[in-house]
Amino acid sequence: MGDTSFWMFDFFGKVMPIFFVVVIGIIVLSAGKGILQWGRNNKQPVLTVDSRIVSKRSQVSHHQHQDTNDHLSSYTKTTYYLTFEVESGDRMEFTVSGEQYGLCAEGDAGRLTFQGTRYLGFQRYMRVSGEEGTPGAFRRMNP
């Protein structure tokens, strides 16, 4: 009976190191991807272009954790996104802060500043009201 149960320890002795290496590999690859994107963004020029906000969206993720004392803790994280359309018709989506998300509305026009995939800011043009019953036009504000 002693020899038949030994295979289980031999199995875990071989599988657990492989599992550990795979998990560490995934963590290293994820960190490396973030560092590479950061480096690529730093090499890009800072651009400021005329654009219009064409879409807003948010993504809510909810996490729960139960500790050893049966206490349940949870938190919610909301990520905010704005999609801009530039004069060429290209669209770009950026992650923005909740404050910036709240200040922007779909249809706002202005100057988008970005570096690679990194959002740096958006300066809205001042909206001037048109004739009664027509939507307001946008006018550039002097920087």
CA 98 → CA 42, 80, 82, 113, distances in Å? Answer: 24, 6, 11, 18
R_g of the chain computed on alpha carbons:
25
> Do both 11 and 57 map to the same domain?
no
Give residue-wise pLDDT tens across range 25-76: 899 888 888 888 888 889 999 999 999 999 999 999 998 888 777 788 888 9
What are the start-end ranges of the H helices in 44-85?
none
Domain extent, residue 36, equals 1-43
> Do both 22 and 1 map to the same domain?
yes
> Do both 39 and 107 map to the same domain?
no
Give residue-wise pLDDT tens across range 95-113: 999 999 999 999 999 999 9
43 Rama class: left (phi>0) / alpha (psi -120 to 50) / beta: alpha
Residue 63 sits at φ, ψ, to 5 deg, of -125, 140
> Do both 29 and 60 map to the same domain?
no
* CATH (domain of 89): 2.40.50.660
* Helix, coil or strand: residue 99: helix
Q: Give the total number of structural domains in the chain.
A: 2
> Do both 81 and 141 map to the same domain?
yes
> Do both 142 and 120 map to the same domain?
yes
Beta bridge partners of 128: 137
